Amino acid sequence: MTTTTDEWKPTACILCECNCGLEVALGGPEGRTLAKIRGDKLHPGSHGYTCEKPLRLDRYQNGRAERVLHPLRRTADGSYEQISWEVAISEISARLTEIGVEHGGDAIMYYGGGGQGNHLGGGYSRATFAAYGMGYRSSALAQEKTGEFWVNSSMLGAALVRSDLGNAQVAVFLGKNPWQSHGFPHARTMLRDIARDPERTLIVIDPRRTESAELADIHLQVRPGRDAWLLAAMIAVLVQEDLIATDWLAEHASGLADVLATFGGVDVDGYCTIAGVDEALVRQAVCAIGASDRTAFFEDLGVQMNHNSTLVSYLEKLIWLLTGNLGRTGTAYIPAVMVPLATARKDTSLHASVTPVTGSPILGGLMPCNVIPEEILTDHPKRFRGMLVESANPAHSLADSPRMREALAALDVLVVIDVAMTETARMADYVLPAPTQFEKPEATFFNFEFPRNVFHLRPPLLEAPDGPLPEAEIHARLVEASGALDPAVVDRLATAAQQGRDAFLTAFLMATAGDKRAAALAPVLLYRTLGPTLPEGRQSAALLWGATQLAFQANSASVQAAGHASGDALFDAILAGTSGVVFADDSADPEAAVWRRVRTDDGLVHLVIPELLQAARDLATDAPPGPTQEWPFVLSAGERRAFTANTIIRDPEWRRREPDGPLRISPNDAEKLGLTPGDEVEIETPRGKATARISIDEGRQDGHIALPNGLGLDHREDGERVVTGVAPNELTSAADRDPFAGTPRHKFVRARLTPIA
């Protein structure tokens, strides 16, 4: 008998970085089905908004993914055997320690730490990282955002910069289709509002006539991979037509003369021709930007995983900086953060920190995903020999899956912490099971809103089954097994925690202030000592006590303005606020708050990044990328659609439409190849081949095709593993990457198609 309770429980959507608040009513025979789902009106960021994606989230919790419920150890024949937690932790610790003794701890790398909805557990990895002396980490951000982080850090001294689209007069989306990929609260409502308002201008720069482009006042339908020429032409129009904010720049920026010299002589007409965009339309867009004092840009994966990605990030920022669009309502801002996802270095030179084998730049603290195989598959003495992967699936999600699998197989030890038996877990020596995101307290560190920024600690909806352990406990056990934790310190802190927060704060500062090692182990120290004093089931939120102290230190005025008198008060509000809390409020003086967070050495905006300004000059002679006779199509590998999500959704039944994720092609190209919707084609790239069904896309340029993200995963059906759709990274190359950030060009993969009769 199916039952549904009337009790609505707060949680959040885990399918994109917005993490909209949800309410769930449980049902099913055991009350473990996410039977009814609706937006949570009490969530201070999303206020009840959702798109269609979370309504079938039960397919994540109760779908046909191959759930892991016990620690597993790979056997000699490649199968897995169940082992106890004690054996698993002891053996893993011994193997990591052995690598550390023989080769140094930095021969073990850490990958992952969470996806769109789960960063809390990964926060504890920092202690494991320190305990075993690891030196390098990476995550999916290092195949998307690290170029932008470096540009932001170099120009503004802050890794993370966002835009106030809700109040912008001119909103510009670059390589971004927010109708499907969201990325900011109420994306669809906001798009419609801008589109309907005759006083506002919506500009979309995208090779495809996307759902967002359909709403736009101006769609600059750039040729795939040629955004750099388009943006350089836009800057040239600003400079040549004297549309720049001269007074603002004189007060706030350095390096203007070099920028003017670079773009003053650019051939606008020639660059627009290369970009494939009508020059008059480009001038119209630039005039709209130049005439407004409230322009907000949002760049995303369409350009960040494409040719010239870091250069494009730089040019994009130059446009809004040259027009003075920083700090004021409706322009770019730097938010207060709870836990920084990336760190801005003092030394912003590209090679200030590099990987051990290939010498690739480490940006935002993350090594490029694309070089991981090269850092393993070599006889270099500093190669990686061990890897700890947490809540991530590099064998599927990173470029060139065959090469990544080869690299993972070559490691001395691979340990995976995850909920399900993923493509990566199936290569591991040990798999450590974690509860799902609805079976433990969870949170994300995607807290980017402004002027009021929100943090949401989600209470568990369900009890975890016997077997899995929360990541906090897994890391605590790994750290304890390493011998890095001093039991006397743990005892002292545990005693202080029982005495109250003031005593704990004093004891914690005494334990960590002069002791770098203890400070590095802080997440686990907090979990073991403060954790047991927290409300039932919230022990793994202990890490947030440290985060709230640091957030208060860094942005005390903003945190106080949000009603929290101290770090402790904020921590308590987060524990109590089951629908989320506003943790920072800059609405009293947003501009001053933004300028406080501009952390360049002289407090000015730095318009010049020498390598990138040179790259901008080189556009005059660079050969623009395009298809070739051998490879007549450009494939966008990983397009965001109505029913695509990240790889945590393994059950294709989650998709109400297009469960197998067809390859999209223009009507002309389909006709030329004699294809009709539903026909199958072989798609071949320089790296691999696959078979896909096609669908016709009226908004697509000829020569431009696309496959969706999140496909090519398997699930269990009648005891068999069944794969649905094409895994995009079977077709991509890790070598095809940005020269600065090393990010892959997934949105520009040369390809050819052969109809299957």
Residues at the contact surface with ligand SF4, assessed by CB under 6 A: 13, 15-16, 18-20, 50-51, 53-54, 182
CA distance 204 to 213: 6
* Contacts with 196 (C-beta within 8 Å, 6 or more apart), sequence order: none
| Residue closer to ligand SF4 (CB basis): 327 or 710 | 710
Q: Would you say 468 or 580 has its CB closer to ligand SF4?
A: 580
Please, what is the minimum distance in Å from the beta carbon of residue 16 to ligand SF4? 3
Closest separation between CB of residue 170 and ligand SF4, Å?
Answer: 23
CA distance 712 to 521: 38
Q: How far is the CB of 185 from ligand SF4 (least distance, A)?
A: 8
CB of 578 to ligand SF4, least distance (A): 17
* CB atoms closer than 10 angstroms to residue 555: 24
Closest CA to 484 of 515, 463, 510, 509: 515
d(CA 311, CA 303): 10
The 3-state DSSP composition of the chain as helix, strand, coil percent (nearest 5) reads 40, 20, 45
Burial of 382 (C-beta count, 10 Å sphere; 0-12/13-18/19+): middle
What is the length of the chain?
A: 757
Q: Residue 103 or 188: which CB sits closer to ligand SF4?
A: 188
Q: How far is the CB of 93 from ligand SF4 (least distance, A)?
A: 37
> Closest distance between ligand SF4 and the C-beta of residue 576, in Å?
23
CB of 657 to ligand SF4, least distance (A): 15
Tokens read off for 585? 């409020």
Shortest distance in whole angstroms from residue 43 CB to ligand SF4: 10
Amino acid (1-letter code) at residue 433: P
CB of 215 to ligand SF4, least distance (A): 17
71-101 exposure pattern, b = at least 16 Cβ within 10 A, e = fewer: bbbbeeeeebeebebeebbebbbebbbebbe
Nearer to ligand SF4, 19 or 743 (CB): 19
Instruction: Rank residues 334 and 645 by Cβ distance to ligand SF4 and give the closer one.
Output: 645
CA distance linking residue 128 with residue 67, whole number of Å: 25
Nearer to ligand SF4 among residue 13 and residue 541 (C-beta): 13
By beta-carbon proximity to ligand SF4, the closer residue of 346 and 657 is: 657
Burial class (CB in 10 A: 0-12, 13-18, 19+), 648: buried
Please report how close the Cβ of residue 720 comes to ligand SF4 at its closest, in angstroms.
30
Rg (CA), the chain: 25
Alpha-carbon span 172 to 161, nearest angstrom:
15
Task: In angstroms, give the least distance from the CB of 173 to ligand SF4.
Answer: 15
Judged by CB, which is closer to ligand SF4: 458, or 737?
Answer: 458
Query: Residue 297 carries which side chain, given as an amino acid letter?
Result: F
Tell me whether residue 16 or residue 544 sits nearer to ligand SF4 (CB atom). Answer: 16
Cβ proximity of 421 and 74 under 8 Å: no
How far apart CA 146 and CA 305 sit, in angstroms, is 11
Nearer to ligand SF4 among residue 295 and residue 709 (C-beta): 709
Laid out side by side, the sheet with 295-299 consists of 218-220, 201-205, 170-174, 295-299
Q: What are phi and psi of 694, to 5 degrees?
A: -105, 155
Least distance to ligand SF4, CB of residue 212, Å: 14
Structure tokens at 303: 């350009």
> What sections of 118-174 are H helices per DSSP?
120-123, 125-131, 146-156
Rank residues 21 and 290 by Cβ distance to ligand SF4 and give the closer one: 21
Taking the least distance from each CB to ligand SF4, the nearer of 43 and 252 is 43
Buried b (16+ CB within 10 A) or exposed e, 473-488: bbbbbbbbbbebbeee
Please tell me the distance from the alpha carbon of residue 432 to that of residue 470, in angstroms, as a whole number: 10
Q: What is the full DSSP assignment across 458-498? A: BPPSSPPPSS---HHHHHHHHHHHHT-S-HHHHHHHHHHHH
Return the amino acid letter for 722.
V
| Nearest approach, Cβ of residue 13 and ligand SF4 (Å) | 3
Residues 6+ apart with CB under 8 A from 719: none
- Please say which residue, 57 or 562, places its beta carbon nearer to ligand SF4: 57
**From the CB of 58, what's the least distance to ligand SF4, in Å?**
14
DSSP H or E segment with residue 317? helix 309-322
Q: Which residues contact 752 (CB under 8 A, 6 or more apart)?
A: 630, 631, 632, 633, 683, 684
CB of 183 to ligand SF4, least distance (A): 8
Place of tokens 């698993």: 88
Nearest to 604 by CA among 229, 209, 290, 327: 327
Give the count of beta carbons closer than 10 Å to the beta carbon of residue 412.
Answer: 17
Nearer to ligand SF4, 51 or 663 (CB): 51
Partnered with residue 25 across adjacent β-strands are 8, 36
Q: Which is nearer to ligand SF4, 50 or 128 (CB)?
A: 50
Which residue lies nearer to ligand SF4 by CB, 405 or 456?
A: 456
CB of 418 to ligand SF4, least distance (A): 21
Smallest gap, in angstroms, from Cβ of residue 20 to ligand SF4? 3
Tokens of 224: 């795939």
Identity of the residue, 15 or 581, whose beta carbon is nearer to ligand SF4 in the bound complex: 15
Residues linked to residue 414 through DSSP beta bridges, in sequence order: 387
Burial class of residue 391 in the structure, from the number of CB atoms within 10 Å of its CB (0-12 exposed, 13-18 middle, 19+ buried): buried
